[in-house]
Homo-oligomer: A and B are copies of this chain.
Amino acid sequence: MTAPIKRLFVFPLFFLCIACNDENQRQNTGNINSTKTEDNFLPSWNDTETTTKIIDFVEMTKESGGIPEADRIAVFDNDGTLWSEQPMYFQLYFAIDQVKAMADDHPEWKDEEPMKSVLAGDLESLKSQGLEGILKLVMTTHAGMSEMEFNQTVKQWADTATHPVTNLRYIDMVYQPMLELLDYFRANGIKTYIVSGGGVSFMRAWAPEVYGIPKEQIIGTTLKTEFVSDEEGQRVMRQPTIDFIDDKEGKPENINRIIGKKPLIAFGNSDGDLAMLQYCASRQGPSLPAYIHHTDSTREWAYDRDSHIGQFDKGLDEATEKNWLLIDMENDWNAIYPQK
């Protein structure tokens, strides 16, 4: 089920990888198989064992002797778990779009890498500059402004920017079944968090409206910041230095730091989420560690062990060995993206 992936770039850092998928056609239409009633919270989930396990788990939490309210915490990876991540992380498209948008004010960029390559549309040249080039690209577009300014810039981008393969807006490439799952969890008293390798300020600009998750329940990678108080007022300025990478072991470390509890439920899709799912599984009492397996080469992208975006290898082994919930996108979901 793995679609051929043409790897353009390989970088070791969280949202900095780029790959390219040969398939140019994605279908946004869902095939409604479910026999479930209309009042069901999960209309885009088929009547499979997977769906039953989720519903049974949620029912268990509410039973007498179930899960104390304070412990009803569900954490979700974002890229590949709540929205698509192919052929490259959407935040990198933002960085590239920003270079183009800012270019008029920066005539020097036509001679300055990696902006020169980005402006020329030469991703092969960007690739050849390695991590150093990508980091410079990200810092140029993500730092040097206040949090409020950055928030507004991302918001404007998210309102209009579209994906080069699907021509859908990025924010319309969220998974309809996951939107339903978030609502279903919240309706049952489970607090939903994002815990993503993506930038926290990037996500906070659009994710609250799209997912119904408030800013304070979004955890992600951070830049260092500086509080400034002067004649122009008080603001937090974004510095061009990584503060914390919220990926792999960083996920449970950040969950401990910010939430302070082992999560009851954890959803991910890649090896970058494995430590978070292990952390969830290690809590005393019941837990629901769950992996989404990208098996649908027709309606989305199919990839796992060999993908350089969202590689799912060790996690797939461990999920199988430990009988964690494994969601098969092709078989468990009857829709991928929301119908507009």
Q: Is the CB of B200 within 8 A of A257?
A: yes
Q: How far is the CA of A279 from the CA of B234 in the complex (A)?
A: 6
CB contact under 8 A between A222 and B257, given known A227-B252, A234-B278, A235-B282: yes
Q: Is the CB of B215 within 8 A of A236?
A: no
Chain B residues with CB under 8 A of A243: 257
Q: How far is the CA of A243 from the CA of B200 in the complex (A)?
A: 19
Which residues of chain A in 227-262 are interfacial with respect to chain B, using CB atoms and an 8 Å cutoff? 227, 229, 233-236, 243, 249, 252-253, 256-261
CB contact under 8 A between A70 and B208, given known A216-B259, A258-B258: yes
Tally A residues with Cβ within 8 Å of B. 36
CB contact under 8 A between A215 and B279, given known A227-B249, A249-B226, A253-B226: no
- Asked if A147 is at the interface (CB within 8 A of a chain B CB), the reply is yes
Chain B residues with CB under 8 A of A257: 200, 222, 225, 243
Q: How far is the CA of A191 from the CA of B191 in the complex (A)?
A: 14
- Asked if A168 is at the interface (CB within 8 A of a chain B CB), the reply is no
CB contact under 8 A between A216 and B253, given known A234-B278, A234-B279, A282-B233: no
Which residues of chain A in 209-225 are interfacial with respect to chain B, using CB atoms and an 8 Å cutoff? 214-216, 218, 222, 225
CB-based nearest B residue for A248:
B227
Q: How far is the CA of A258 from the CA of B258 in the complex (A)?
A: 7
Q: Is the CB of B256 within 8 A of A215?
A: no
Q: Is the CB of B226 within 8 A of A260?
A: no
Contact among B233, B236, B253, B279 for A253, CB-based, below 8 A: B236
Q: How many whole Å from A198's CB to the nearest CB in chain B?
A: 14
Q: How far is the CA of A290 from the CA of B34 in the complex (A)?
A: 55
Q: Is the CB of A282 within 8 A of B216?
A: no
Instruction: Give the B-binding residues of A (Cβ under 8 A).
Output: 70, 73, 147, 191, 200-201, 204, 208, 214-216, 218, 222, 225-227, 229, 233-236, 243, 249, 252-253, 256-261, 275, 278-279, 281-282
CB contact under 8 A between A225 and B253, given known A258-B258, A282-B235: yes
Instruction: Please list 8 pairs of residues, one from A and one from B, whose beta carbons are closer than 8 Å in the complex, sorted by A's number.
Output: A147-B256, A216-B261, A218-B260, A225-B256, A227-B279, A233-B282, A234-B252, A234-B278
Q: How far is the CA of A200 from the CA of B261 in the complex (A)?
A: 12
Chain B residues with CB under 8 A of A73: 216
Chain B residues with CB under 8 A of A275: 227, 229, 234
Chain B residues with CB under 8 A of A236: 252-253, 256, 279
Chain B residues with CB under 8 A of A208: 70
Q: Is the CB of B229 within 8 A of A260?
A: no
Chain B residues with CB under 8 A of A252: 227, 234, 236
